[in-house]
Amino acid sequence: MASSGSNELTGTNTLQSIRYNRGSLQLLDQRKLPLETIYLEIRDSTDGWNAIRDMVVRGAPAIAIAAALALAVEVSNLGDFSGSPSDAASFLQNKLEYLVSSRPTAVNLSDAATKLKEVISGAAATASEAKSVFQDYIEAAEIMLVDDVASNRAIGSYGATFIQHQVEKPKLSVLTHCNTGSLATAGYGTALGVIRALHSGGALERAYCTETRPFNQGSRLTAFELVHDKIPAALIADSAAAALMKSGRVDAVVVGADRVASNGDTANKIGTYSVALCAKFHNVPFYVAAPLTSIDLSLSSGEEIVIEERSPKELLNSRGGLGEQVAASGISVWNPAFDVTPANIISGIITEKGVITKSSAADAFDIKAFIQKTL
């Protein structure tokens, strides 16, 4: 089993994808789960970039935090840096730019980089030596780790209360797609956090998780977390979602997000859109659970979201490309890692500040107004 343990900064004791103490970062190699538990040492931003690109760590919030901490570890162990505060700022900003290039779709990574750059510029403007710019950077990166767990717990609590109110059943069954749990975040999870909160409140009949082809984040990671936490659950093939909903066994769907445009269109793991269409057809409410850092107000709609395309090997070979060949040699492949679910089939967006719903008059989300109100 993967180790659960207490993270010094977050105090969580669920499964940990990120193990961090100042000057040291280890990432659980999620490619090896559920059969092996191996943590890889991340010494610098190059190790961090490779770990993100190669899916050692994945999930929008976890990617952002792993990147921020990889650079924190690099500067913690830098030794002598002879430059000025503004040289230190340029050093950090260039490394952040590089880290952002590792995966394009999840906005949390670029959002974290933007916020960290603001901290760096502020520090460089007042610091008398480079060391204090690095110190401020490290502290800001560490705060991101702590804040993520707190925001996930709030998402879980708001989501569980809201869904129970909407569905009006003492116990509900919830379907989720991909992995949005402790392994995809700093701890607890977003959509899986809502499922955890329903379970701990005695309101969960059963969680259903899809396999999530081709990388199998559902069967390898979500199933693993559900078993680990003793949450009643069943695994289904992605293609079984429609039949399951038709059978009446799903009361709500909750998924995570990699990027939410300002109109509510949501990019998430490939297959999310099919699940949402099935939910719409069967009158099952479909919710997105995501921190505000997953919202990209600079995009007016999902049309503008850049969708990462990954290696054909993920489809041609078993185990998301890591195992033996399973597809016919010579076949060409289209392998988008994400798809966009249009806002008009999303029932609500669960955030750490509450649930964003549509105004009945416009049948549309007003995410900007919601965020304004939370400031």
Residue 221 CB, nearest approach to ligand MRU (Å): 8
Segment lying near ligand MRU (by CB under 6 A), choices 58-66, 155-163, 231-239, 353-361: 58-66
- Residue closer to ligand MRU (CB basis): 59 or 321: 59
| Residue 59 in contact with ligand MRU, rule: CB under 6 A | yes
Give the span between the Cα atoms of 227 and 235, in whole angstroms: 11
- Residue closer to ligand MRU (CB basis): 163 or 209: 209
Say if residues 224 and 198 touch (Cβ distance below 8 Å): no
Q: Give, as ranges, the residues between 234 and 273 that touch ligand MRU (CB under 6 A).
A: 256-258, 268-269
Which residue is it, tokens 């804040």?
Answer: 147
**Residue sitting closest to ligand MRU (CB):** 256
Give the span between the Cα atoms of 272 and 196, in whole angstroms: 20
- Residue closer to ligand MRU (CB basis): 92 or 100: 100
Is residue 27 helix, strand or coil? strand
Q: In DSSP terms, which residues pair with 348 in a beta bridge?
A: 287
Q: Give, as ranges, the residues between 127 and 186 that touch ligand MRU (CB under 6 A).
A: 178, 180, 184-185
Considering only 217, 219, 266, 293, the residue that binds ligand MRU (CB under 6 A) is: 217
Please identify which of the residues 47, 238, 258, 265 carries the catalytic annotation. Answer: 258
Could you tell me which of 184, 114, 176 has the C-alpha nearest to residue 152?
184
Question: Is residue 258 flagged as an active site residue?
Answer: yes
**Cα 79 vs. chain centroid, distance in angstroms?**
33
Residue 73 parent element (H or E):
helix 60-76
| C-alpha atoms less than 13 angstroms from C-alpha of 75 in its C-beta half-sphere | 27
Give the span between the Cα atoms of 36 and 316, in whole angstroms: 23
Angle at Cα 152 formed by Cα 171 and Cα 111, nearest 5°? 140
Is residue 372 helix, strand or coil? helix
- Residue closer to ligand MRU (CB basis): 61 or 285: 61
Residue 106 CB, nearest approach to ligand MRU (Å): 6
| Residue 337 in contact with ligand MRU, rule: CB under 6 A | yes
- Residue closer to ligand MRU (CB basis): 136 or 258: 258
Catalytic positions are 258
Q: Give the interface with ligand MRU as residue ranges (CB under 6 A).
A: 58-61, 106, 178, 180, 184-185, 190, 217, 256-258, 268-269, 337
